[in-house]
């Protein structure tokens, strides 16, 4: 168990800067999720922690020890790969025991550790099988087992669930969560799936174009997205974003459609400033006064319903309502944001305005 | 559903097969049958009469201490060529598979020797190692080393082994490289995180995963060393000095074509045929089944 500190870490491939200075200190036993779209640099960052990629600038420390120039084997980490990366010519037992044998751990202890991990992961029956004789979910478990038996300072997960079907993914997600709670080992987990991020993370680091857009607990990231990017990436369906302008007295936001949404507190200094206004679909409700929309599409999800409405100026507005649909396509509806549901972002930089 | 190609004429499929069948008949079945027929006959020196002698040719060949010497030379030669060609090819493939600059040029250059005819390759080696005109051969002599493969049997054997291996390295290289590239990078990364250094990674991960390729090449190289090195030996040493570089296949030629002992030569051919059939059977049996993981 250990802390993992990432200090102003950069990565360049020739003139291209893939990671532009990431700073985060991961606490002992913390579960950090690196979340972002493909190509944002999250896997590269994880591989730099693992020692599989060189570090162009900055420092990575595991357990207080700078590991920049250490080989992967000397970093005391274990990694779970997207394609599992099991050794195809070894049995499940040997797959898990491989790292322990190399480290010269006595045979009896290897046996004990592998048996224990196999028990936790319900792999006991498969120890003599080869990976090719296992299902996707079982292979995933073996990959986890191989990480667990090492009892490392930190676990690194590189999109471990993305090769599984939806049902298995949910199941394994719960198992990973349980396992981490039980073992309490510092974990870095890369994913592009916001549900995995929200459910697993103690904290989420949202990455975009090699930059940390926001670092925070899942609820912080959801409730107070630091940028338009985070606002759009977290939440399903995504947040509505409308162009607007703060009125001359700094008391409300004016929208092109003529609506006037009062601000929770006056912002005299921002009077007249153009802004982006964010409202989550689930924070809209039918109201007497507000946005008048024509319904284009109704998605009934069972527990709730997503309504795609068109504003008079042509913008699309999503509204999420509880329960089964009560409206139909081509109906007209008036909706308004609930109190405190407005997110303001700078129209130019996209950063959140507090 | 099985897709079936249908022909309007019943004759057409046979017609399409005919060229291949003809080639096989003319260049393989007929000479092989001839060899078997001749191996149980004894011909007079003028080739006018021949007499059925049962297995006399075989007992004669196998009882000849010279033949057993040739067999020994062949085994040494074949094992050396196989080990050398595979070892060097594997080393080069491992290097080519790692990230190096100019990897594609390097790969292309390594494949070139395979395109050379054995006799041409042999002449090339002669120009390097000939003690009178070869650059390296003369350098060796200038350094006081008594290098002359035309007189020293050991040196001659060494040279044909090198020349024969060199040509086969290219072929092995292609297969080893393909085998290496089929190993997922993440498996190697997982091993390095598990604590295995490059050497251990090679012996515990790479090499076992390459075993189907290795076994296939082992058989192919043995067959090559046994049967396809005639040109190399003929151009370089003609089996000499003495009989130092005479392999089984070279002796077949020597006894049959040069010394006109058709019966004995045919008996040797039949023995070689049995060897190649055995090697092929081993390959089919094991390559297809045992050494497989996925």
A4 forms beta bridges with: A26, A62
pLDDT by residue (tens digit) across B156-175?
Answer: 888 888 888 888 888 899 89
pLDDT by residue (tens digit) across A15-56?
Answer: 888 999 899 999 999 999 999 998 899 999 999 999 999 899
CATH classification at residue A242: 2.40.50.140
Q: What is the pLDDT of residue B125?
A: 83
Q: What is the pLDDT of residue B294?
A: 44
Looking at A190, A210, A232, the residue that finishes a domain is: A232
How many CB pairs below 8 Å do chains A and B form together? 65
Residues A207 and A304 in one domain: no
pLDDT by residue (tens digit) across B36-47?
Answer: 877 777 776 666
Residues A44 and A162 in one domain: yes
Looking at A181, A212, A232, the residue that finishes a domain is: A232
Q: Is A53 inside a domain boundary?
A: yes
- B60 or A295, which is more confident? A295
Q: Is A109 inside a domain boundary?
A: yes
Domain with A213, as residue range(s), is: 4-232
Quick check: A225 pLDDT over 90?
Answer: yes
Residues A44 and A146 in one domain: yes
Q: Is A354 inside a domain boundary?
A: no
Q: What is the pLDDT of residue A290?
A: 84
Residues A219 and A256 in one domain: no
pLDDT by residue (tens digit) across B223-273?
Answer: 888 888 888 888 878 777 877 778 878 887 877 777 777 777 788 888 888
- Of A332, A286, A282, the C-alpha closest to A305 is A282
Quick check: B1 pLDDT over 60?
Answer: no
Q: What is the pLDDT of residue B190?
A: 92
Average pLDDT for A57-64: 90
pLDDT by residue (tens digit) across A235-260?
Answer: 888 999 999 888 888 888 888 878 88
Residues A153 and A219 in one domain: yes
- Of A1, A186, A147, A153, the C-alpha closest to A76 is A153
| Rounded percentage of chain A residues whose pLDDT exceeds 90 | 46
Indicate the residue of A50, A85, A88 with minimum beta-carbon distance to B293. Answer: A88
A42 neighbors A210 (Cβ within 8 angstroms): no
**ipTM score over 0.90, yes or no:** no
pLDDT by residue (tens digit) across A317-335?
Answer: 999 998 888 888 888 989 9
pLDDT confidence of B292, banded at 50, 70, 90?
very low
| Cα(A17)–Cα(B219) distance, integer angstroms | 50
Question: What's the gap in Å between the CA of B206 and the closest CA on chain A?
Answer: 10
Residues A100 and A159 in one domain: yes
**Is the CB of B200 inside 8 Å of chain A's CB atoms?**
yes
Residues A240 and A255 in one domain: yes
**Is the CB of B104 inside 8 Å of chain A's CB atoms?**
no
pTM, 2 dp: 0.79
Q: Is A51 inside a domain boundary?
A: yes
Q: What is the pLDDT of residue B100?
A: 67
Residues A163 and A82 in one domain: yes
**Is the CB of B182 inside 8 Å of chain A's CB atoms?**
no
φ, ψ (nearest 5 deg) of residue A166: -55, -45
Q: Is A86 inside a domain boundary?
A: yes
Q: Is A251 inside a domain boundary?
A: yes
> For A153-157, A278-282, B34-38, B287-291, which range has the lowest pLDDT when averaged over its residues?
B287-291
**Is the CB of A103 inside 8 Å of chain B's CB atoms?**
yes
**Is the CB of A82 inside 8 Å of chain B's CB atoms?**
yes
Q: What is the pLDDT of residue A191?
A: 93
Residues A217 and A240 in one domain: no
Task: Name all domains of chain B by residue range, CATH numbers in brackets.
Answer: 65-287 (1.10.3720.10)
Residues A113 and A199 in one domain: yes
Q: What is the pLDDT of residue B44?
A: 67
Q: Is A351 inside a domain boundary?
A: no
Indicate the residue of A81, A103, A132 with minimum beta-carbon distance to B186. Answer: A81
Indicate the residue of B190, B195, B205 with minimum beta-carbon distance to A79. Answer: B190
**Mean model confidence pLDDT for chain B:** 81
Total domains in chain A come to 2
pLDDT by residue (tens digit) across A165-222?
Answer: 888 888 889 988 888 888 889 999 999 999 999 999 999 999 999 999 999 999 999 9
pLDDT confidence of B4, banded at 50, 70, 90?
low
Q: What is the CA radius of gyration of chain B?
A: 24
| Cα(A193)–Cα(A36) distance, integer angstroms | 8
Residues A135 and A254 in one domain: no
User: Are B193 and A78 in contact (CB < 8 Å)?
Assistant: yes
Residues A74 and A161 in one domain: yes
| Cβ contacts of B213 on chain A, cutoff 8 Å | none
Q: What is the pLDDT of residue A271?
A: 83
Q: Is A175 inside a domain boundary?
A: yes
Verify cis geometry, omega within 30 degrees of 0, for the bond prior to A152.
no
Looking at A185, A209, A232, the residue that finishes a domain is: A232
Q: What is the pLDDT of residue B157?
A: 85
- B79 or B246, which is more confident? B79
């Amino acid at each position: 168990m250990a802390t993992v500190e990432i200090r102003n870490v950069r990565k360049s491939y020739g003139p291209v800067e893939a990671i532009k200075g990431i700073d985060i200190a991961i606490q002992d036993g913390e579960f950090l999720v690196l979340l972002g779209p493909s190509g944002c640099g999250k896997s590269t960052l994880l591989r730099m922690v693992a020692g599989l990629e060189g570090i162009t600038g900055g420092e990575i420390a595991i357990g207080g020890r700078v590991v920049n120039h250490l080989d992967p084997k000397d970093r005391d980490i274990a990694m779970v790969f997207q394609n599992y990366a099991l050794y195809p010519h070894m049995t499940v037992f040997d797959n898990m025991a491989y790292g322990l044998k190399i480290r010269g751990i006595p045979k009896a202890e290897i046996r004990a550790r592998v048996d224990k991990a196999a028990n936790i992961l319900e792999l006991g029956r498969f120890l003599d099988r080869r990976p090719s004789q296992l299902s996707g979910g079982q292979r995933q478990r073996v990959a986890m087992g191989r990480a667990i038996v090492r009892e490392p300072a930190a676990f690194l997960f590189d999109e471990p669930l993305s090769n599984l079907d939806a049902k298995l993914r949910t199941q394994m997600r719960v198992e990973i969560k349980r396992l981490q709670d039980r073992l309490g080992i510092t974990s870095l987990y890369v994913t592009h799936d916001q549900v995995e991020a929200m459910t697993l993370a103690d904290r989420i680091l949202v990455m975009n174009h090699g930059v940390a857009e926001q670092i925070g607990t899942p609820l912080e990231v959801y409730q107070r997205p630091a940028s338009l990017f985070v606002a759009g990436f977290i939440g399903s369906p995504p947040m509505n974003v409308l162009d607007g302008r703060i009125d001359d007295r700094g008391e409300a936001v004016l929208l092109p459609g003529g609506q006037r949404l009062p601000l929770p507190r006056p912002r005299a200094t921002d009077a007249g400033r153009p802004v982006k206004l964010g409202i989550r679909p689930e924070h809209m409700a039918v109201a007497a006064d507000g946005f008048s929309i024509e319904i284009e599409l109704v998605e009934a999800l069972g527990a709730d319903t997503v309504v795609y409405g068109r504003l008079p100026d042509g913008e699309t507005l999503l509204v999420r309502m509880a329960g089964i649909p009560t409206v139909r396509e081509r109906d007209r509806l008036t909706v308004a944001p609930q109190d405190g549901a407005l997110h303001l972002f700078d129209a130019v930089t996209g950063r959140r305005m507090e | 559903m099985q897709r079936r190609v249908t022909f309007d004429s019943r004759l057409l499929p046979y017609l399409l097969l005919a060229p291949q069948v003809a080639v096989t008949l003319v260049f393989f079945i007929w000479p092989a049958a001839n060899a078997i027929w001749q191996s149980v006959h004894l011909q007079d020196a003028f080739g006018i009469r021949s007499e059925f002698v049962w297995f006399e040719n075989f007992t004669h060949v196998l009882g000849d201490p010279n033949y057993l010497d040739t067999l020994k030379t062949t085994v040494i030669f074949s094992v050396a060529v196989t080990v050398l060609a595979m070892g060097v090819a594997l080393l080069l493939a491992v290097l080519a598979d790692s990230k190096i600059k100019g990897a594609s040029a390097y790969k292309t250059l390594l494949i070139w020797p395979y395109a050379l005819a054995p006799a041409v390759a042999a002449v090339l080696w002669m120009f390097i190692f000939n003690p009178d005109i070869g650059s390296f051969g003369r350098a060796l002599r200038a350094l006081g080393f008594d290098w002359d493969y035309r007189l020293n049997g050991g040196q001659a054997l060494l040279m044909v082994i090198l020349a024969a291996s060199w040509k086969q390295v290219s072929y092995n290289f292609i297969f080893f490289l393909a085998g290496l590239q089929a190993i997922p990078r993440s498996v190697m990364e997982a091993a390095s995180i598990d604590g295995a250094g490059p050497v251990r990674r090679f012996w515990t991960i790479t090499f076992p995963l390459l075993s189907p390729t290795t076994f296939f090449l082992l058989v192919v190289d043995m067959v090559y060393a046994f049967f396809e090195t005639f040109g190399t030996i003929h151009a370089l040493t003609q089996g000499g000095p003495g009989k130092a570089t005479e392999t089984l296949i070279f002796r077949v030629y020597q006894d049959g074509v040069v010394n006109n002992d058709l019966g004995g030569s045919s008996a040797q051919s039949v023995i070689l045929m049995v060897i190649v059939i055995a090697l092929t059977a081993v390959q089919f049996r094991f390559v297809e089944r045992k050494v497989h993981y996925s």
